Structure 1
């Protein structure tokens, strides 16, 4: 069913809502589905299509374009080559063989290698270059590493609309064209930031936020999720998430085989709460890793709970730790609690797995077997140490 919707005069949303998708990149859970946003711009002289959609939704895009009732597409703007935004490009070029693909050099190389787009179909645009559609002007702004090296933004100068591709998006399938409820969009937007943008927080997210702040923008239209007709909402959130400021929060991802580590987690959680620290606990046998990533956006401290298994941390702890290491949250402090039977490299292994994070390690608490009175006193000290570190970190901002 076709569903082309006008954003403002002669600018249309022609993308696809994917209500049923639940996994992205064979890794990221999508509890709310997603959308692949594509935008058609009718100028007085020429027509441009900004991004396409995932190949699974090709027919939806094609039907939506037909509904706008155009004879020709002159330019296809590719802001980013990843297939959820470019997958239908070959089909669109078949339907509109005279169209030119406009993109940047890095994206051109990716389109040739990922989708076999002919070299002579692609024209490279420079950072800051403008292309006229008649009464509408498209300006291209390079925005590398949010989240691939090829990303760029497209800005309609007269209408003050910024198309940011993945940047500032959200995995959310909704019938709303625009953000109607800031509370409803908050969690999908934060989850999206945590899973996709957080590794590039410094300097790339911060740098590209400044580029947007320097523009006069009335509408932000990303390639996933609904459109922001109040850009300050998402920009203010990103300013906070991408800053160096942390909150008085501890997250505790853990595994427990026979109850020893779980008892230590329970005790430490209670002690942290008594000290006025907000705590989120994640049993990794049940946790959606997107929830863990989202909680890591603001937390000052991560405490890993891990039992020893065959001289190393339990295997089900390793994956989430590796993920956190790759996401590189602004967390300041890390510690470890857990238990062992006869020995191994529990502490050393966790430190190595988190080597990508710029953090201070707080003295861990590792018990031999089930925790004893001495171990609980060490957990008391760990809670005190965390409180002290938080006070110092929060004072600095």
Structure 2
């Protein structure tokens, strides 16, 4: 193993290690990265993984992020003479994996770039120079010699439309780029401790793969046609070796649960235009939190027949405004026209800006959908500056509003089933009244809670049941910090009514409420009876809720003689 460090930024390091016969990984460790795409924050940094396979011919699988340019290129030349690289396999073209393709080709102009048809098209816009190319389809093979033969698996939408997996028949390694990855930076090359990384693995799945659950299942089906997979070489985080079957089973189970939804929302975006892909991913995640399935489609590479079929089977549409000029404009505008023509009465629709060079205007587009009889499910998301954490949160909440609008009939039906003795008996379980408040970076959230119970003495800890479609759920991942505000009996109605309101996407939950900052940065409600500063230790999934176990660091009571406000329900099938 070799480790190099950037002297100017000591928290950028490079690690190389032999992971199988004639196979070396070059791992770019980004220790301090605290944000990636739509996730609200990274607690453990991330890595960008690249691989060199040395058969009779040499293949480089993916590159790295441009911030690692000097470190990566120096390391690559130590691992292999670039002049001897025969193939550069591009799993997908997002910049964190292909950011150094141009630099590598400058050192290895003889190399043939291997990728899906869509990936090669994207690279033409990225590299801006002629290069040798080889387009591969599902099942195609590339013989490197000495037993190394790559078999390609098409895996679109994981999480870009151009994604391919590569399987080395000699080492039985499957190179998957984003799929099965996680944002977890560690010196250990492999997944030695499942319990240490499983929360990051799940969080990554929920952010990037859950909105593409049906595409995940399609990819898993194609993976099932391969011989045994002994190792999954991911693009982010540790490589999977010790628990491969467990990780694959989890992807399958989670994706099957997501794909069972009776309703689907089609999310249309343009993958390499503005912030279209990242914003659409945030919105898609908000939709999936409500139990509604999502199918994402890139307007730049979409087949008209596939667009028409997807719109036809969807209950809702979410559209990132495409460009009106530039290389992608003609194809994207034609696909948008197909969406408009196929849209039908009673579908829900939401529009959000891409913040590209010249977006399709929002208002005329909304008007055209309204005239077709569609219902606007959330106010159009208009972006005036480079998207930040608050904008991504706004998009997620807009997606949740869309999903909740589509499932409103189910919710109403559940609330009306009041004749069940079981519902009435369950409703007799009383609970206190609390406000959960959290803040991470520029993003804040709050929630009225009553399903709270102490769970341990050592350490001091308690559990909270948080519905999956609550906005604050994204701020209560393992390692996140928040405040539990205890409401006072006889002095709770004002705060209770305020936080029971339905806030529009992106609204400030604390407007008009007196607060003060806790040591962990979250708001303390000044009128609360008591507060506890907490950190999430673990989460357990319970169908439509997460059970969040948290430990307590600080706390104070404002009036020792006062009592906690208590909530009594009549039924147990809704709050």
Which TM class, normalised by the smaller chain length? 0.5 to 0.7
Shift of 1:158: 1.5
Equivalent residues in 2 for 1:367-386, closer than 5 Å: 376-377=567-568, 380-381=569-570, 384-386=572-574
Which residue among 297, 315, 328 is the counterpart of 2:507?
315
Alignment match, 1:395: none
Which residue among 232, 245, 252 is the counterpart of 2:245?
232
Q: Distance in 1 between matches of 2:252 and 2:224?
A: 10
Equivalent residues in 2 for 1:1-397, closer than 5 Å: 1=4, 3-25=15-37, 28-43=40-55, 45-70=56-81, 71-113=83-125, 115-118=126-129, 120-135=131-146, 136-201=148-213, 203-215=214-226, 216-230=228-242, 231-244=244-257, 265-266=448-449, 268-270=450-452, 279-280=465-466, 289=475, 291=477, 306-308=499-501, 315-316=507-508, 376-377=567-568, 380-381=569-570, 384-386=572-574
Kindly tell me: are residues 6 and 123 of structure 1, through their superposed partners in 2, closer, same or farther at Cα, counting changes over 3 Å? same
Q: Distance in 2 between matches of 1:96 and 1:61?
A: 14
Shift of 1:265: 2.6
Instruction: State whether residues 466 and 473 of structure 2, in contact with CA within 8 Å, keep that contact through their aligned partners in structure 1.
Output: no
Kindly tell me: are residues 253 and 106 of structure 1, through their superposed partners in 2, closer, same or farther at Cα, counting changes over 3 Å? farther
Q: Indicate the SS of the match to 2:236.
A: coil
Instruction: State whether residues 452 and 464 of structure 2, in contact with CA within 8 Å, keep that contact through their aligned partners in structure 1.
Output: no
Q: Distance in 2 between matches of 1:207 and 1:330?
A: 26
Q: Indicate the SS of the match to 1:127.
A: coil
Instruction: State whether residues 307 and 314 of structure 1, in contact with CA within 8 Å, keep that contact through their aligned partners in structure 2.
Output: no
The structure carrying a bigger strand percent of its residues is: 2
After superposition, the C-alpha distances for 1:177-217 in whole angstroms (9 at most, x for unaligned) are 1111011110111111011111111x111221222233221
After superposition, the C-alpha distances for 1:371-396 in whole angstroms (9 at most, x for unaligned) are xx9x955xx145x0149xxxxxxxxx
Question: Unaligned regions of 5+ residues in structure 2, if any?
Answer: 5-13, 259-288, 292-433, 439-444, 456-462, 481-497, 510-540, 546-564
Alignment match, 1:350: none
Kindly tell me: are residues 38 and 9 of structure 1, through their superposed partners in 2, closer, same or farther at Cα, counting changes over 3 Å? same
Q: Indicate the SS of the match to 1:178.
A: coil
Q: Distance in 2 between matches of 1:48 and 1:131?
A: 10
Kindly tell me: are residues 381 and 54 of structure 1, through their superposed partners in 2, closer, same or farther at Cα, counting changes over 3 Å? farther
Q: Distance in 2 between matches of 1:227 and 1:253?
A: 40
**More deviation in 60-69 or 211-220?**
60-69
Instruction: State whether residues 255 and 314 of structure 1, in contact with CA within 8 Å, keep that contact through their aligned partners in structure 2.
Output: no
Alignment match, 1:342: none
The structure carrying a bigger helix percent of its residues is: 1
Q: Distance in 1 between matches of 2:72 and 2:15?
A: 9
CA RMSD of aligned residues (A): 3.8
Shift of 1:66: 2.0
Q: Distance in 1 between matches of 2:175 and 2:477?
A: 27
Q: Distance in 2 between matches of 1:205 and 1:34?
A: 22
Shift of 1:139: 1.1
Shift of 1:92: 0.3
Q: Distance in 1 between matches of 2:542 and 2:73?
A: 42
Kindly tell me: are residues 306 and 205 of structure 1, through their superposed partners in 2, closer, same or farther at Cα, counting changes over 3 Å? farther
After superposition, the C-alpha distances for 1:268-289 in whole angstroms (9 at most, x for unaligned) are 3259x9xxx971389x998764
Instruction: State whether residues 66 and 99 of structure 2, in contact with CA within 8 Å, keep that contact through their aligned partners in structure 1.
Output: yes
Instruction: State whether residues 219 and 229 of structure 1, in contact with CA within 8 Å, keep that contact through their aligned partners in structure 2.
Output: yes
Alignment match, 1:346: none
Q: Distance in 2 between matches of 1:314 and 1:75?
A: 46
Query: What is the aligned length?
Result: 305
Q: Distance in 1 between matches of 2:100 and 2:142?
A: 23
TM-score, normalised via structure 2 length: 0.47
Kindly tell me: are residues 385 and 130 of structure 1, through their superposed partners in 2, closer, same or farther at Cα, counting changes over 3 Å? same
Shift of 1:313: 7.2
TM-score, normalised via structure 1 length: 0.67
